[in-house]
Chains A and B, each alone.
Chain A
Amino acid sequence: MRETPLSNCERNFINRAIAEDTRLDGRQLLEARPVEIHFGANWGCCHVALGETKAIAQVSCDIQQPKASRPNEGMLHINVEFNPIAAPHFEAGRQSELAMQVNRQLEKCFKDSRCVDLESLCIVADEKVWNLRVDVNILNHDGNLVDCASIAILAALTHFHRPDVTTTGDSITIHSFAEKDPLPLTLHHYPVCVSFIVFESGQIVMDPTYMEERVGASQLTLGLNSYRELCSLQLCYLGKTSVTADVVPSISPHAANYANKLVTQIRKAAQQDVEAKYNKEDRDVCRLKECITFGKLTAMTKPKLSIKLAHWVAGKSSPKSDMETSDFQDEDDNIKTLGHGSAELITNMSKSVGEGGPNTWQASEESSDDEIEDIEILQETKLEKKVLDDIDLGGDSEEEDTVTVSKNDIM
């Protein structure tokens, strides 16, 4: 869907208001919106609200081979998704120009400033390193996406803990959180982005809303850390304008002060939650609940519900269903997941079962228990890709009727 057009009266009004040092939400020109940070139960999961602009970040990690140019360094990927939930004109699955620009700005701020100690993420040089991935999903777009995303990324990185590993010779063991305490990341410094909008009149506004972004003449984003060091800088002209770039020196002290305050807030919030999680009792406490403003008309809570449900049993079970039940004594009943988020396409169509979707049923009315080892259930519950189980009926005698899903056919 196309963006709602900006009317002339909105443009005029905002320009006039800014000229009078007034903003629609009652803020000062160089005042940011309040920041709220909430962490989830997982490490590195956080929800950030910058006024009405909201984003969620999640850090994840896996082990990969390092880049040949940097064999003893881990990797960091930052990915900001602009889903249509945030604004109707965002399109799903397509990187818009804005998305690319925001991604690049954040990469400059976090990756190129080398704030994460990547060397400590090396396990075996040239072979295995940790690969960190930060996914930011924008939930609501009310301007200043860069700042909101940068706060979310910094909070998530500060909060994130990776599993511990031990190397014994060639083999690596990744310890689960239950075995060994997870380790936090080492951050050399804490950068955040601070954005400004310069209006045609030369007035500068901090933390612009969506409307102000649309009216403004040029946009300036500074990446700053708590040591008042500049990590990245971006100035982009939004329209035809003659505003010069001498705005940077006039606002940089204010931006540095604000960045310092913001970083302190983020670190404090993260530290509080991390400490609570170290305390074993409320390790799994999910603080995302605090995102909800209870007491609001549209908010509602319902405590844990104990309900009485009638217990259903088979009244007149037919002999056939008896057979079925006995069948389920197999030890092979577990749900098997073959590779997360993947689907396997089986090309051999000769004896296909379950064309509509994956066959999770075993046609095993007469299979005997000793044949179970030969049975492999290929179980992928993917609806989009057609998974066809190739079933090979081996053995002719009645007792030895087995069902084999030949694995070789699909490799």
Chain B
Amino acid sequence: MQNQLETTEEEECVLRPMNCELNQLSRPDGSAMFMQGDTVVVAGVYGPIEAKLQKMMHDRATVETMFSPAKGPPCVDDRAKETVIRETCEAVLLTALHPGMAISINVQELQDSGGLLACAINAACLALIISSISMKFTVAAVSCMIDRESGKLIVDPDSTQIQQARVTFTYVFEGIKKDLVSCHTTGRFSENELMESLEKCRAASQNIFDFYRNIVEQYAIKL
């Protein structure tokens, strides 16, 4: 399918401003407050720590995730996000290095203004980076949507744009070859739309990887 796509022209896309502070919380082994526009998420990681007996695996570490919403008790949506985050982090972590242990990843939503899942995954990745748990690669999540009326593809939409969405995609890429790690979609779309959005998000993900590297450069220099 990929070879059926051709680039014709370049298109302007806007990524919302990103803000981040690492290790803002004193208790977790690694934590990150990450903002993409007005979407704000805090992630805290503990690990490797003692695993609960019923969840212990003898050959690798258990990855536990917890996503808690800003309001109300956690509902099915939040459990679904939790699963996406867990499966993504399981792919990222070298769990075989810590058999019988647990790595606990906790994500707290502070404010949702579009692209919450992508923001949560990026925050979790930053928290894992600062906690120095061994990872295969870093991951970056990018969300995008297709506008209902114009059919235009918008990368990293905010909450007002999402109101007009026909389809939303969230892609997670790994940092080495930019291969797809996980993908979450809502709505109905064609194969071409999927491929187009995938390619665009792949290109946009580079900015998030650059952000990771810049922040590591900033603190690692002082080590």
Contact = CB atoms under 8 A, between A and B. Distances in A.
A–B contact (CB under 8 angstroms): yes
Interface of A: 1-2, 40-42, 45, 47, 52, 54, 56, 58-60, 79, 81, 83-88, 92, 133, 135, 137, 139-142, 284, 286, 288-289, 291-293, 296-317, 321, 324-325, 327-328, 333-335, 340-343, 360-362, 377, 379, 381-385
Nearest to B189: A328
Given A300-B215, A321-B192, A309 B204 contact: yes
B4 interface: yes
B68 interface: yes
B108 A384 contact: no
Contact of B76 (A305, A311, A328, A343): A343
Interface residues on B, range: 35 or more
A324 B214 CA distance: 43
Contacts of A311: 7-11
A288 B21 CA distance: 12
A385 B24 CA distance: 35
Contacts of A302: 17-19, 207, 211, 214
B84 interface: yes
Interface of A is mostly: loop
Contacts of B106: 83-85, 92
Given A140-B28, A305-B14, 12 more contacts: A47-B110, A56-B42, A79-B73, A301-B20, A302-B207, A302-B211, A306-B12, A311-B9, A311-B11, A312-B5, A325-B190, A382-B79
Contacts of B20: 292, 299-301
A234 B145 CA distance: 52
A288 B23 CA distance: 16
Contact of A298 (B42, B46, B79, B130): B130
A289 B4 contact: no
Interface string B189-218: 111100110011001100100010011001
B165 interface: yes
A382 B18 CA distance: 29
A141 B27 CA distance: 7
Contacts of A300: 18-21, 211, 214-215, 218
Contact of A292 (B33, B43, B168, B195): B33
A292 B21 CA distance: 6
B27 A87 contact: yes
Given A133-B71, A307-B15, A314-B192, A384 B76 contact: yes
B222 interface: yes
Contacts of B14: 304-307
B219 A84 contact: no
A354 to B, nearest CB: 13
B26 interface: yes
Contacts of A312: 5-7, 195-196, 199-200
Nearest to A141: B27
9 contacts: A40-B40, A54-B25, A292-B24, A307-B15, A312-B199, A313-B6, A315-B4, A341-B72, A384-B83
Contacts of A40: 38, 40, 110-111
B11 A60 contact: no
A299 B219 CA distance: 9
Contacts of B80: 381-384
B111 A309 contact: no
A317 B111 contact: no
Given A305-B207, A310-B11, A333-B187, A60 B38 contact: no
